[in-house]
Amino acid sequence: MVRLQQTKEDMMIYKAQFWLSITFFSFYFSWGIFMPYWNAWLISEKDMTVEAASSIIAAGLFVRSASTLFAYPILSAKYPAGTLLKWFTVITALMALLFIPASGYTALFVVMILFNFIYPIIMPMGDSMGALLMKTDRIHYGKSRSWGSIGYTVSVLFIGVATSIFSDAAILYVFIASTLFMIAAAFYHTPSALREPRDLHRVPFSQLFRSKRFVTALIICVFIQGAHAAYYNYGVLYLQYLGVSSVWIGVILNIAVAAEILFFVVADRFLSHTNVPVMFLCASIAAVVRWTLMFLFPSVGVYMFAQLFHALTFGLAHYAFIRLLYEEFDSSEIPAAQGIYSSLGMGLSTAVLTFGAGYLYEMSPELSFLGMGFVALPALFICFCLLKEK
Tens digit of each residue's pLDDT (9 = 90 or more) over 241-259: 899 888 888 889 889 888 8
pLDDT for the residue numbered 50:
77
Residues in Cβ contact with 382 at an 8 Å cutoff, skipping those fewer than 6 apart: 216, 219, 220, 223, 284
The rounded distance, in Å, linking the Cα atoms of 235 and 249 is: 9
pLDDT for the residue numbered 149:
80
Residue 106's pLDDT band, with cuts at 50, 70 and 90, is very high
pLDDT for the residue numbered 34:
92
pLDDT for the residue numbered 179:
96
* pLDDT over threshold 90, residue 95: yes
Mean pLDDT (the chain, rounded):
86
The rounded distance, in Å, linking the Cα atoms of 312 and 84 is: 31
What is the rounded radius of gyration, in angstroms, for the C-alpha atoms of the chain?
20
pLDDT for the residue numbered 197:
63
Give the angle subtended at the CA of 266 by the CAs of 262 and 268, to the nearest 5°: 140
The rounded distance, in Å, linking the Cα atoms of 362 and 233 is: 13
The rounded distance, in Å, linking the Cα atoms of 60 and 217 is: 25
Looking at per-residue pLDDT, the higher value among 280 and 236 belongs to: 280
The rounded distance, in Å, linking the Cα atoms of 234 and 133 is: 35
pLDDT for the residue numbered 6:
53
pLDDT for the residue numbered 189:
83
Buried b (16+ CB within 10 A) or exposed e, 168-197: bebbbebbbebbebbbebbeeebbebbeee
* pLDDT over threshold 70, residue 11: no
| H-assigned helices in the chain | 2-45, 50-66, 72-78, 81-97, 105-118, 122-136, 141-166, 170-188, 205-208, 212-226, 229-241, 246-270, 276-296, 300-307, 310, 317-328, 334-340, 349-363, 365-389
Least confident of 96-105, 113-122, 257-266, 282-291: 257-266
Give the angle subtended at the CA of 323 by the CAs of 319 and 329, to the nearest 5°: 140
Q: Where is mean pLDDT largest: 131-145, 173-187, 374-388?
A: 173-187
Q: Is residue 53 within 8 Å of residue 43, measured between CB atoms?
A: yes
pLDDT for the residue numbered 294:
93
Looking at per-residue pLDDT, the higher value among 287 and 142 belongs to: 287
pLDDT for the residue numbered 126:
86
* pLDDT average, residue stretch 130-154: 81
Least confident of 3-7, 53-57, 342-346, 352-356: 3-7
Q: How many residues does the chain have?
A: 390
Residue 324's pLDDT band, with cuts at 50, 70 and 90, is confident
Least confident of 55-69, 293-307, 325-339, 363-377: 325-339
Indicate the pTM of the whole model.
0.76
- For the stretch 35-49, pLDDT in tens is 888 988 998 899 888
Least confident of 45-54, 55-64, 88-97, 133-142: 133-142
pLDDT for the residue numbered 199:
53
